[in-house]
A and B are shown apart, each in its own frame.
Chain A
Amino acid sequence: MSQSGVQVDAECVSKFNELKLGKSIKYIIYKLSDDFGTIVVEETGSDKDWDNFREKLVNAKTKSKQGKEGKGPRYAVYDFEYELASGEGTRNKITFIAWSPDDAGIGPKMTYASSKDALKRALNGIAAEVQANDEDDIEYNTILAKFAKGK
């Protein structure tokens, strides 16, 4: 349950359903609208390169209530593809990422963390979730290691 009352825009779900079809969309980045009232789609992408996607999170910005721009949290869904260690082909995991860099302001951090569940619950079919607070947490290998452990 959301603990902030923040709403989820309908497009958040429709884009997610497109991603689930596994054809065109590789990832979706969500953000809070400027008035912190609604979770909206910021962008979707088909680029398969994890590092490009990661770069977008690392560079994400948010305005504080005083209008000062600083690092910004985001939510994202990524259709994570990885090779099985046994060499038996590839697997896909639709992964929800709650990105909230430690050096973002407390206002955005608070609002994103307390609203996360509203979005997560609106999206049906998430296989894994990653809570990430520093750049290491969203290294491809960090996430891969998580899945390799069966988690």
Chain B
Amino acid sequence: MASQTLTSSMQPTDVYGGDEVSAIILDPGFSSVRAGFAGEDTPKSFVSSYYGVNEGGQVFGDDAIHNPLAGLDIRNPMSKEGIVEDWDTATRLWEYAITSRLTSFKQADPRNNGLNDDLKDLDVEMDGVEEGEKPLEEHPLLMTETAWNSPKNRERAIEIAMESWGCPAFWLARNSVLAAFGAGKATALVVDVGASTASVLAIHDGLILKKSIQKSHLAGNWLSSQIRTLFATSEPKVELVPHYTIMSKTPVDAGAPAQATYRTYEKEVTDSFRALEEERVLTEFKESVVQVWTGPGRLNSPMQAGMTNLEYAKSQPGRVFEMPDGYNQMWGGERFTVAEGMWDERAALPVAGEQPVQKGQTISEMVKASVNAVDMDLRSQLLQNIVVTGGTTLVNGFTDRLNNELTVMYPSARIKIQAAGLTAERRFGSWIGGSILGSLGTFHQMWISKKEFEEFGSSVVEKRCK
């Protein structure tokens, strides 16, 4: 191994050598797809993972899916664990993400660029497509994946890259490993809280320790459902009113009923469309109002005689939130309660149709289980190399609370948490990592070339991308 790296004559001879052309980095998640050219600082293309379906077929992208007139049913090709479930649609969504924004990208044949046409027609037309018409045939593709992606899904990914898109080279990288590397660490405990999934896992010398992988649903979508419960159980109930329902609004006093003119639509929108639009309002609420109790202790634990932390939190200045219809109110202690279930299962608000949150699903317990699953020798090193990533970790107070929880859990350990200060690095950490790797001159040593794929088949991905 060691000596192999020393002589160039021992390098594989069929390496991909087209490094004049930028690679494309594709980082798909439950909430969004990030795509762009290697070497750039942020992904040029940032597209919702949700897509719309009506009689006309499928539509992709924010310009299309938020149209209340189109009678769209809203769906997502990713599973609740953030891995691909519907491959045909995922392929087309990614093609959209790539072709719609990456301008120097070779224009795909409209017959097979997969945009907004019906699935059945596409299948038929794909058969007639010539070799020379594949959309990505000049660009190597680096794709990211979760640590719990299935072997079958991994093979499917290389098949799409090589066969459907005609990529000359391909690589599959673990998003958590990219996040750790981006923090300057080959060994780390990565805490990733995205939209569908919260996960904790250990990485040692650049490799994921399989038995350390912990995941739960206490991520962004769950947080949204907590806010829904909060609105529904408020006195009086707070109406969640999406933007598309509002024609105009008049300012009203805090707590007073809204005075708005509503839009009416000939055709009633679908429940899934409304839910998507409500989610946008909930995201605004998360960004501007929600606050994690940073500690010490838990929100419901006593602070001093006769007072809990929650009572103290209630006495602190609140934040005003205005709904699209103009209704507004001050949120005090409640803005803490929605995020508390991530840390304290007993504090989670009930969600209709869902099981109560289990202790083992909380972030702190997942850290404990993950750390306990690895060698004793490694544990203290992991605790001082915690990397926090994913959009939901941007909720105010997240990192401070994690630090407090772990300090109590491991009183004699040194806890050190690394969370990128730049929002972009926290949200696009794995894309950015892929962008840097994919632009290295030496990365041509890594790529699985088309030739290799043809020789060994899709299982080559299991052997090469660990």
- Which residues of A line the B interface, CB within 8 A? 1-10, 13, 35-37, 65, 73, 98, 100-102, 104, 106-107, 109-114, 116-118, 120-124, 131, 133, 151
Instruction: Using known A-B contacts A117-B206, A131-B385, A151-B377, determine if residue A3 contacts B437 with beta carbons closer than 8 Å.
Output: yes
Contact with A along B112-131 (1 / 0, CB 8 A): 00000000000000000000
Could you list some 27 contacts between A and B, CB below 8 A? A1-B466, A2-B5, A3-B173, A3-B206, A3-B437, A4-B437, A5-B444, A6-B440, A6-B442, A8-B2, A8-B6, A9-B6, A35-B441, A36-B442, A37-B442, A73-B184, A98-B186, A102-B184, A109-B184, A110-B182, A110-B184, A110-B436, A113-B181, A116-B186, A118-B5, A122-B3, A151-B380
Q: Is the CB of B184 within 8 A of A36?
A: no
Instruction: Using known A-B contacts A7-B442, A151-B377, determine if residue A113 contacts B6 with beta carbons closer than 8 Å.
Output: no
Q: Is B177 close to A, CB under 8 A? A: yes
Interface positions of B from 174 to 188, Cβ below 8 Å from A: 177-178, 180-187
CB contacts (< 8 Å) of A111 on chain B: these are 436-437, 440
Contact of B443 among A1, A4, A10, A117 (CB under 8 A): A4
Least distance between A117 CB and chain B CB atoms (Å): 5
Instruction: Using known A-B contacts A3-B446, A35-B441, determine if residue A113 contacts B436 with beta carbons closer than 8 Å.
Output: no
Q: Is B20 close to A, CB under 8 A? A: no
CA distance A5 to B442 in the complex (A): 5
CB contacts (< 8 Å) of B39 on chain A: these are 65
Contact of B183 among A7, A109, A123 (CB under 8 A): A109
CB contacts (< 8 Å) of B183 on chain A: these are 102, 109, 113, 133
- Which residues of B line the A interface, CB within 8 A? 1-3, 5-6, 39, 173, 177-178, 180-187, 205-206, 377, 380-381, 385, 416, 418, 425, 432-433, 436-437, 439-446, 466
| A-B interface pairs (CB < 8 A), number | 113
Q: Is the CB of A109 within 8 A of B181?
A: yes
CA distance A122 to B433 in the complex (A): 25
Least distance between B380 CB and chain A CB atoms (Å): 7
Q: Is the CB of A106 within 8 A of B182?
A: yes
CA distance A98 to B206 in the complex (A): 13
CA distance A56 to B22 in the complex (A): 36
CB contacts (< 8 Å) of A120 on chain B: these are 205
Instruction: Using known A-B contacts A5-B444, A133-B385, A133-B418, determine if residue A110 contacts B181 with beta carbons closer than 8 Å.
Output: yes
Q: Is the CB of B182 within 8 A of A117?
A: no
CA distance A54 to B466 in the complex (A): 34
CB contacts (< 8 Å) of A109 on chain B: these are 181-184
Q: Is the CB of A116 within 8 A of B205?
A: yes
CA distance A109 to B186 in the complex (A): 10
Which residue among B183, B418, B441, B442 has the maximum number of chain A CB atoms within 10 Å of its CB? B442
Q: Is the CB of A113 within 8 A of B437?
A: no
Q: Is the CB of A121 within 8 A of B2?
A: yes
Least distance between A87 CB and chain B CB atoms (Å): 25
- Give 16 new A-B contacts, CB below 8 A, not counting A113-B180, A124-B2: A3-B177, A4-B437, A4-B443, A5-B442, A6-B440, A6-B442, A8-B2, A13-B6, A101-B184, A106-B182, A110-B181, A113-B182, A113-B185, A122-B6, A131-B385, A133-B184
CB contacts (< 8 Å) of A1 on chain B: these are 1, 206, 466
Q: Is the CB of B182 within 8 A of A122?
A: no
Q: Is the CB of A106 within 8 A of B206?
A: no
CB contacts (< 8 Å) of B441 on chain A: these are 35-37
Least distance between A5 CB and chain B CB atoms (Å): 3
Least distance between B466 CB and chain A CB atoms (Å): 7
CB contacts (< 8 Å) of A5 on chain B: these are 440, 442-446
Least distance between B188 CB and chain A CB atoms (Å): 9
Least distance between A99 CB and chain B CB atoms (Å): 9
Q: Is the CB of A117 within 8 A of B205?
A: yes
Cβ-closest 8 pairs across A and B: A100-B184, A5-B445, A109-B184, A5-B442, A122-B2, A113-B181, A110-B436, A8-B5
Q: Is the CB of B185 within 8 A of A100?
A: yes
Q: Is the CB of A131 within 8 A of B381?
A: yes
A100 closest partner in B (C-beta): B184
CA distance A37 to B440 in the complex (A): 8
Contact of B440 among A4, A73, A122 (CB under 8 A): A4
Contact of B186 among A6, A106, A113, A123 (CB under 8 A): A113
CB contacts (< 8 Å) of B206 on chain A: these are 1, 3, 113-114, 116-117
CB contacts (< 8 Å) of B1 on chain A: these are 1, 121
Instruction: Using known A-B contacts A4-B440, A5-B444, A102-B418, determine if residue A10 contacts B185 with beta carbons closer than 8 Å.
Output: no
